[in-house]
Structure 1
Amino acid sequence: MTFAQEFNYSALLILGIVATYATVGLIFWLINSPRTVASLQRLTNISPQLVAIIGLLFGLYMAFFANDIWSIRDRAQTMILQEADGLRGILDVAESLPAEVGAPLVTAVRIYVEAAIEEWPLLAQGRSSPQARELLRRLSHIALGESLATRLGVGAQFALAQNLEQAQSARYHRLALSQRRGDPLKWFAVACLGTLTLLSVALVHLDNWRSQLVAMLIYASAISVSFTAAYLERSPFQVFVVSPQPIAELLNLARLPAPS
């Protein structure tokens, strides 16, 4: 990420945490305000089980939300492995050909791999590299071109086409996953459930403002930890970036001369 992106990303994270504790202060002030304290004292018989119920709802929703975010990261890693596997299959076919026939295919794979690695910083912005896209198209033209098809058997043609399709499909899904940032409606639901949890904690501690404040701060800390963990993982190509290493490892194979 660029400095501006890192600043915005960090600022939004800090803003969310500050907003959580600001909500604690706002609820505490409203409940203990001289204008409202008299009327709210009538609610001292609220059952503590209310906190458990709402807290359980918040915890379950947060768990499902975090699981959805982390599954995106796992799928992104799977797509990277599939893309590398497809490109490796193309190299295997190229290495089985005479050097003068397989060399253009090996070169096309190497150039695309280099462009794909250089594309990685763009994925944090949800963008792709036009150069990498064009080089993959060039690889496709070489792999499926008539000049190469006439030198291959039916089995080799099928293997080459299958591996090329796998690499193209994996790249498409990898780019699609780089644009996932989490549903704003889900973030809104997390914020609402967190606020309701803090409010319920405050209402069951109306008889002691010190216990009320401490309990709310503890819950706010738990909410902040959950929020931070989910936010930092909301895109697999931002803070904890999935590695392009499986694709980069192909450079060593693509530099080897194809046997004659």
Structure 2
Amino acid sequence: MPLPHWHTYDHYGFALVAVLGTLVAVLLIQWFIQRSPWAGWAQSLRGVSPPFINVIGVVFGLTLAFLASDTWSAHDRAMNAVYREADGLRSIAALADALPAPLGGRLRAAIGSYASASADEWPHLAQRREAPEVLARADALLTLIASAEVASAAGANVQALMLSKASDIRAEHDLRVALSKTHVNPLKWLGMAFLGFLTLVSVAVVHIERPRAAFIAIVLFAFAAAPTAAIVLVQGNPFQTPTSVTPAPIEAIAAGLG
């Protein structure tokens, strides 16, 4: 297998940037309001009403929630695609049992061959790649189902159902491949980082007359925001750790037909 490109694991890098960037922002703000040449000017900003924090904080929270929803939705869609793919294979295998030998055995062997290749594709998906062998075996399975031999033995209705299931299998495979190639959108996360920085600044301004309270407040917000953003970022590819989608349903079919 070829070596992964640098952007294969870009979401881990963005997670590290989120944590370190938040730390730098906290230290920078604290230096600015206490030790910088502009500390005196910063003290003149006292008097900002505490509810002002809610305005920016809510916008930041909603932005992070939407980004988290996109990430976890991709994970759920990938998991559902795996189970639907496995269900399609299981359905065709059940219909193949009614076919006479040796045609039924050939069809079950084609299903097992595809299932094995599909289950072995996970390392490729973790590297945001597609295994050409899976498509080749999917084509072989579809060609066999569409053959006149299957039409004669199974009948037009059963063959049409098999073809529909085979088409669904390819669609679910294409979906999980597409989800594996989804990258972090830097523009979205840059906007979230900007809102997070503004929230830190607003917290500091509200507590500007009490430097220790300001420091504690921005540190608490940083501890809440940075790890949450990092957790969302490290789940950027549903086929990588720590929450990798499992190929167990497809592996079970491959084992059963092996």
TM-score normalised by structure 1 residue count:
0.91
Structure 1 CA distance for aligned equivalents of residues 91 and 9 of structure 2: 41
Structure 1 CA distance for aligned equivalents of residues 112 and 165 of structure 2: 15
Structure 2 equivalent of residue 258 of structure 1: none
| 1:172-183 matches, cutoff 5 A | 172-183=174-185
Of 138, 146, 149 in structure 2, the residue corresponding to residue 147 of structure 1 is: 149
| 1:173-252 matches, cutoff 5 A | 173-239=175-241, 240-252=243-255
Task: Tell me the percent identity.
Answer: 32
Structure 1 equivalent of residue 17 of structure 2: 15
Structure 2 CA distance for aligned equivalents of residues 171 and 3 of structure 1: 21
Of 78, 102, 114 in structure 2, the residue corresponding to residue 112 of structure 1 is: 114
Structure 2 CA distance for aligned equivalents of residues 27 and 55 of structure 1: 17
RMSD: 2.1
Deviation per residue, 1:143-194 (Å, 9 max, x gap)? 1122322222122111111111111111111111111234222211111111
Structure 2's unaligned 5+ residue stretches are none
1:46 aligns with 2:39: no
53-62 or 8-17, larger mean C-alpha shift = 8-17
Pair 1:7–1:93, CA change in 2 (3 A): closer
Structure 1's unaligned 5+ residue stretches are 256-260
TM-score normalised by structure 2 residue count:
0.92
Q: What code does the residue aligned with 2:121 have?
A: E
Structure 2 CA distance for aligned equivalents of residues 64 and 118 of structure 1: 33
Give the count of matched residue pairs: 255
Pair 1:230–1:211, CA change in 2 (3 A): same
1:92 aligns with 2:73: no
Pair 1:11–1:61, CA change in 2 (3 A): closer
Structure 1 CA distance for aligned equivalents of residues 87 and 34 of structure 2: 63
Structure 2 CA distance for aligned equivalents of residues 44 and 229 of structure 1: 35
Deviation at 1:118, TM superposition (A): 1.0
Structure 1 CA distance for aligned equivalents of residues 154 and 99 of structure 2: 8
Q: What code does the residue aligned with 2:250 have?
A: I
Q: Moved runs in structure 1, 4+ residues, more than 6 A?
A: 2-8
